[in-house]
A and B are shown apart, each in its own frame.
Chain A
């Protein structure tokens, strides 16, 4: 196994986890406000598409990232309107948004890029790499931590920001109270609708950014339904982390590890079929979901005789 688990693997882990991490940090707040929001998969896909579109038109990767993030933000307005104002069921609305994401991006491929299936902008460049002084010279740790694209560091920073936002600011307190007892929040002078809107838009923006990063920084192309359930993995990470940003971050790392390890095994030809390896992260996600739910259930240990 020594050939498999090395510094490169952990470096790859950070790289692979970043898109999912960004999406998870996006979706976390609306989940904490008890909106069952798994439309983040849809925002992510829209983010992928529009980031590639912007890169194609401007040739600038950074504009691409912003384009993807804002596309996700605009897309999430539809969801917010449906769920917050028209009181649509959050699950049904999420299904609708995800379908809309798939439909729109697949449809637009033809009229905009005049192709179907996939599109890679001809002027696509790679993101610059950040070499952190001093750290980069430390053996192993330097190889793992240094030398990533700026978005990887941004993702890590975002975890800290989210943690502070959730637990150290009035806004975080408001989000928690809206989730646990919206009536109490309302009587305390908080406008729950406003809070829910903030969390939905935040989710749209960062899920879009996560998608944009996936398309521009990782796959360097757009292909039909390219998110392939990554948004759902992010969603699972949020459920696992009980909406705590740091725990959610850990969960994304676990899924990223399964992914990175799978790719590693595939490259080294361990006799496992690549498609079989691709099931790993999802099986792991199901296991993690089950275990975390079981622990939570035992904690609350309902003494009720469940029939």
Chain B
């Protein structure tokens, strides 16, 4: 049988990491081939090599049986390979049309010939049922639409093989269905698809064959029909997996945070929060579900003082705090694990120790009258490093030297030390390895069991369902639903996430 793509014994090393270790992969024409594995297993690296964004250290790539060297994405494009990245590769200020033709424009007298391209693209979008308005500015599109633009972009470039990197991570269940329909149409028309994912249910639903990777190596290639979730999970993790963290039933105490009619604007100055109402009690984890970009970020920032509320009140322990600065809120007991670890959670240009003292540097015992006490800082930092198991040779080395999981432990150490009454945790496990995920989850549950309150924002519905005691769903800056039990089918929550179903105000409160 001829393979569309055959990758043989690919090796790729990054400083300190063997990202791909003797990896082989082959794709049959017209199949949907799933590439599964944990974060950091090397799936994306392998595909970036195929797409010419990285070069392998050794190993060979065959396209339609012919050996090829792929040095740049344009080489890959010429060979009919297209890739939709996890973070969309679109230029937000350009129109959809401009984004699609970028780098492959038709010209007339040297000028860009938009008309011809437009006709061509309309033809493709009709054939594959990919509807988007070509003249919209790209930043106005929904995530699902952007994904369609990305697929169109690849097809316009003549892709015969489409690589999709974690395409469902940002989609609600209903959008995922639509995507799967598109993928089936594509394969019916003769395209092949590589589908990167770590969500096993989806993989089992959509793929024909599955390649599993762990720590840079292939641990198995199976036919989808002949496998199941448990087998895949074992191949992925290398041991029995606990699908749910064990936790006791919550015994919530008194209300610690009350949010009333809260409104705030986003960075573009448009309403991002529209009359948000909810409360959290001590000893419970409130999960905020929703597709990213529906106001969760603004909610977290408003609660922690990084964004001004335009209306409404935030009452913490019986006190209005909506006017407080971030530092005042922290001192009152509101702690914050930010979503963007590398930009906000960690200062990569400072040392680990400088990162750890951020919340307390200005107070006795770390400093007195504005002058640091070196010994006290050393004791403080050493205590946190050992208590939270941050693995580092020297706390005075740069924070950028830490691995993703250790960075998050650093953030956790800084934010949980001093026992805050409310922890606002935003995407706390994004991009960290399994071990760290388990650790972070257990810390969050420990917080709850010690009768503190937790607000958990996560784009992973699984994470919310597994950790939260109560769930609110956000859609376009509003709370569309509230669930007091976590025993709800995902599909049901999906309807609220998509805004197609909403509870009345009375129900939500």
**Distance in Å: Cβ of B55 to nearest Cβ of chain A:** 14
Instruction: Tell whether, in the assembled complex, residue A188 and residue B89 are in contact, meaning their CB atoms are under 8 Å apart.
Output: yes
A303 at the interface (CB under 8 A from B): yes
Nearest residue (CB) in A for B89 is A184
The 8 A CB mask of A177-190 against B (1 = contact, 0 = none) is 10011011111111
B153 at the interface (CB under 8 A from A): yes
Instruction: Tell whether, in the assembled complex, residue B110 and residue A303 are in contact, meaning their CB atoms are under 8 Å apart.
Output: no
B305 at the interface (CB under 8 A from A): yes
B77 at the interface (CB under 8 A from A): yes
Which residues does chain B contribute within 8 Å of A302, judged by CB atoms?
267, 269
**Distance in Å: Cβ of A187 to nearest Cβ of chain B:** 4
**Distance in Å: Cβ of B210 to nearest Cβ of chain A:** 26
B482 at the interface (CB under 8 A from A): no
Query: What is the bound-complex CA distance between A169 and B134, given in angstroms?
Result: 18
- Give chain B's interface residue range (CB within 8 Å of chain A): 35 or more
A112 at the interface (CB under 8 A from B): no
List A201-219 residues whose CB lies under 8 Å from chain B. Answer: none
- Give chain A's interface residue range (CB within 8 Å of chain B): 20 to 34
**Distance in Å: Cβ of A283 to nearest Cβ of chain B:** 31
B265 at the interface (CB under 8 A from A): yes
The 8 A CB mask of B91-125 against A (1 = contact, 0 = none) is 11110001101111101001110000000000000
Nearest residue (CB) in A for B48 is A187
Instruction: Tell whether, in the assembled complex, residue A181 and residue B92 are in contact, meaning their CB atoms are under 8 Å apart.
Output: yes
- Other-chain residue from A168, A170, A176, A305 in contact with B91 (beta carbon distance below 8 A): A176
A300 at the interface (CB under 8 A from B): yes
Instruction: Tell whether, in the assembled complex, residue B308 and residue A304 are in contact, meaning their CB atoms are under 8 Å apart.
Output: yes
Which residues does chain B contribute within 8 Å of A186, judged by CB atoms?
53, 73
**Distance in Å: Cβ of B342 to nearest Cβ of chain A:** 16
Main secondary structure of the interface of A (DSSP, over half): helix
Q: A173-B98, A303-B269, A304-B307 are in contact. Are A189 and B91 (CB under 8 A)?
A: no
Which residues does chain B contribute within 8 Å of A174, judged by CB atoms?
102-103
Instruction: Tell whether, in the assembled complex, residue B53 and residue A170 are in contact, meaning their CB atoms are under 8 Å apart.
Output: no
- Other-chain residue from B77, B94, B99, B307 in contact with A305 (beta carbon distance below 8 A): B307
Query: What is the bound-complex CA distance between A173 and B83, given in angstroms?
Result: 21
Instruction: Tell whether, in the assembled complex, residue B90 and residue A184 are in contact, meaning their CB atoms are under 8 Å apart.
Output: yes
**Distance in Å: Cβ of B161 to nearest Cβ of chain A:** 15
A1 at the interface (CB under 8 A from B): no
Query: What is the bound-complex CA distance between A300 and B92, given in angstroms?
Result: 15
Q: A168-B111, A304-B301 are in contact. Are A189 and B265 (CB under 8 A)?
A: no
**Distance in Å: Cβ of A282 to nearest Cβ of chain B:** 32
Query: What is the bound-complex CA distance between A178 and B376, given in angstroms?
Result: 48
Most buried by A among B87, B103, B104: B103
Instruction: Tell whether, in the assembled complex, residue B91 and residue A177 are in contact, meaning their CB atoms are under 8 Å apart.
Output: yes
Instruction: Tell whether, in the assembled complex, residue A188 and residue B103 are in contact, meaning their CB atoms are under 8 Å apart.
Output: yes
Which residues does chain B contribute within 8 Å of A190, judged by CB atoms?
102-103
List A145-172 residues whose CB lies under 8 Å from chain B. Answer: 164, 168-170
Which residues does chain B contribute within 8 Å of A305, judged by CB atoms?
305-308, 325
Query: What is the bound-complex CA distance between A188 and B159, given in angstroms?
Result: 12
Q: A164-B111, A303-B267, A303-B310 are in contact. Are A185 and B93 (CB under 8 A)?
A: no
B367 at the interface (CB under 8 A from A): no
Nearest residue (CB) in A for B266 is A303
Query: What is the bound-complex CA distance between A303 and B263, given in angstroms?
Result: 11
B74 at the interface (CB under 8 A from A): yes
Instruction: Tell whether, in the assembled complex, residue B112 and residue A170 are in contact, meaning their CB atoms are under 8 Å apart.
Output: yes
- Other-chain residue from A164, A176, A187, A307 in contact with B93 (beta carbon distance below 8 A): A176
Besides the contacts A176-B93, A302-B267, A303-B269, what 12 more A-B pairs have beta carbons closer than 8 Å?
Answer: A184-B89, A184-B102, A187-B51, A187-B53, A191-B74, A301-B268, A302-B269, A303-B264, A303-B267, A304-B267, A304-B306, A304-B308
A sample of 23 inter-chain contacts (CB < 8 A) reads A164-B111, A168-B112, A170-B105, A173-B105, A174-B103, A181-B89, A184-B88, A184-B99, A185-B91, A188-B89, A188-B104, A189-B103, A190-B103, A191-B72, A299-B269, A303-B264, A303-B308, A304-B301, A304-B306, A305-B306, A305-B307, A305-B308, A307-B325
